[in-house]
Each structure stands twice: as structure tokens, then as C-alpha cells.
């Protein structure tokens, strides 16, 4: 009787383990069937059902495109127009100059150099908010004129087709021969 009891107990244990392994393996995700066997996500992206889920700052089918890269160029032709000001004489004045953009400290930032064609007005920080939009960080003051010029923020976007044009607006406070005034400027940067 003892042998029959051991045999039944062993049979129950084997059957239980067999069902458990079938149940466990049927709940596992099969990445190969979902297309993740050949897709390698870069920059710490994660493959889910054959599609890379990219970390902030990266885009593309394999997360291989840094968003900041399309905002970076050694030469942009800048044109800006004052569309609002405390000094009415400045409204509708237009200026043209060249700027450059370069990588920021993070994958979602870049710097604008030579604002208003002035090399001292460099290191203007911009934060990328989406694949096509960015914000101009407030608080920029140039080292040669810390109290007479300040960028108070702004927004912009890059075109979605050729990524060779950016446009938007920013706000500045200036102390100059006209006194202290706050201006709203609309800008367009076209890649040279």
C-alpha cells in the first residue's frame, strides 16, 4: 500500500509540474514572433511588439536619431522682425544676420550663438519639447552687457519636411539709447 501511495503522489507531482511548465511558458512573450529578434533599438530604446520605444531625445525606427541633430548647423541666415515693443518706433523694424547652432548639454537641448549678429550674445539655451518644437530658455544675458540685454524666453519650431528652416518668436528686455523697453520678435532661421 505504501508503494501505491508513493506512486500516486509521484504521479500527481509530475502532472502538476507538467501543467505548471505549460502554463508558465504560454505566458512568456515571444519577442522573435513580434519582430524584436532582428530589430536592435539604439540609445537605450526598448523593442515592444516590433517597434522601438525611444527614450527622451531620440527618434527614428531604431532610436538612432538624436532630436538635437536636426537643429544643429554651423550657418543659419537669421531674419527677425520686432512685432511688439514698449517703444513704438521699433515696431516692424527688421534685421538680418547669421547665427550658428550647436549641441547643448543634453540630448534635448541646443545653443544659439551670435544672436543679433553679436558674438557676445552666444550660448542662448533652447530646450527641445517635441521632434519639431523647442523653447528658448529665459534669463540669457550676454557677458559684455549683463544689465542692458536679456532674453526672457520664447518658442519655435523646425519644418517637418527638409529641416532647413526654423521659425518662432522670443521676448527680450533691452536698455539702450531709447531707454528700457520690452520687445517681441518674430524670427526665421534658414540653413545656409
Say how far apart CA 55 and CA 129 lie, in whole Å.
13
Q: What's the whole-number mean pLDDT along residues 11-30? A: 49
Please tell me whether residues 96 and 182 are part of one structural domain: yes
Please tell me whether residues 17 and 90 are part of one structural domain: no
Residue 157 in contact with residue 177, Cβ under 8 Å?
no
Please tell me whether residues 123 and 187 are part of one structural domain: yes
Say how far apart CA 1 and CA 6 lie, in whole Å.
9
Q: Indicate the range of 28-32, 36-40, 186-190 predicted with least confidence.
A: 28-32
The domain boundary residue, chosen from 65, 81, 102: 65
The domain boundary residue, chosen from 27, 44, 65: 65
Q: Indicate the range of 17-31, 53-67, 119-133 predicted with least confidence.
A: 17-31
Cell of 37: 529578434
Beta bridge mates, 171? 153, 184
Residues 6 or more apart in contact with residue 144 via CB below 8 angstroms: 120
Number of domains in the chain: 2
Residue 57 in contact with residue 66, Cβ under 8 Å?
yes
- Which pLDDT value is given to residue 34? 66
Q: Is pLDDT of 8 > 50?
A: no
Please tell me whether the overall predicted TM-score, pTM, comes out greater than 0.85 for this model: no
Say how far apart CA 90 and CA 71 lie, in whole Å.
29
Please tell me whether residues 178 and 88 are part of one structural domain: yes
Please tell me whether residues 170 and 117 are part of one structural domain: yes
Please tell me whether residues 77 and 158 are part of one structural domain: yes
Cell of 156: 519655435
Could you tell me the residue range of the domain that residue 121 belongs to? Answer: 67-191
pLDDT, tens digit, 9 for 90 and up, residues 38-81: 899 999 999 999 999 999 888 889 999 888 888 898 999 999 99
The count of other CB atoms within 10 Å of the CB of residue 171 is: 16
Amino acid at each position: 500500500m505504501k508503494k501505491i501511495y508513493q506512486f500516486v503522489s509521484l504521479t500527481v507531482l509530475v502532472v502538476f509540474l507538467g501543467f505548471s511548465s505549460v502554463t508558465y511558458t504560454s505566458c512568456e512573450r515571444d519577442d522573435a514572433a513580434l519582430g524584436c529578434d532582428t530589430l536592435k533599438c539604439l540609445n537605450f530604446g526598448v523593442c515592444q511588439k516590433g517597434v522601438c520605444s525611444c527614450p527622451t531625445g531620440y527618434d527614428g525606427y531604431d532610436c538612432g536619431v538624436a532630436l538635437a541633430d536636426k537643429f544643429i548647423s554651423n550657418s543659419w541666415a537669421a531674419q527677425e522682425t520686432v512685432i511688439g515693443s514698449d517703444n513704438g518706433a521699433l515696431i516692424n523694424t527688421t534685421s538680418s544676420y547669421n547665427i550658428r547652432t550647436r549641441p547643448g548639454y543634453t540630448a534635448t537641448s541646443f545653443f544659439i550663438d551670435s544672436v543679433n549678429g553679436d558674438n557676445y550674445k552666444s550660448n542662448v539655451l533652447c530646450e527641445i519639447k517635441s521632434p519639431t518644437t523647442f523653447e528658448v530658455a529665459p534669463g540669457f544675458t550676454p557677458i559684455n552687457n549683463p544689465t542692458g540685454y536679456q532674453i526672457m524666453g520664447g518658442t519655435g519650431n523646425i519644418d517637418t519636411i527638409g529641416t532647413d528652416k526654423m521659425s518662432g518668436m522670443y521676448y527680450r528686455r533691452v536698455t539702450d539709447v531709447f531707454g528700457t523697453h520690452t520687445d517681441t520678435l518674430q524670427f526665421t532661421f534658414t540653413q545656409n
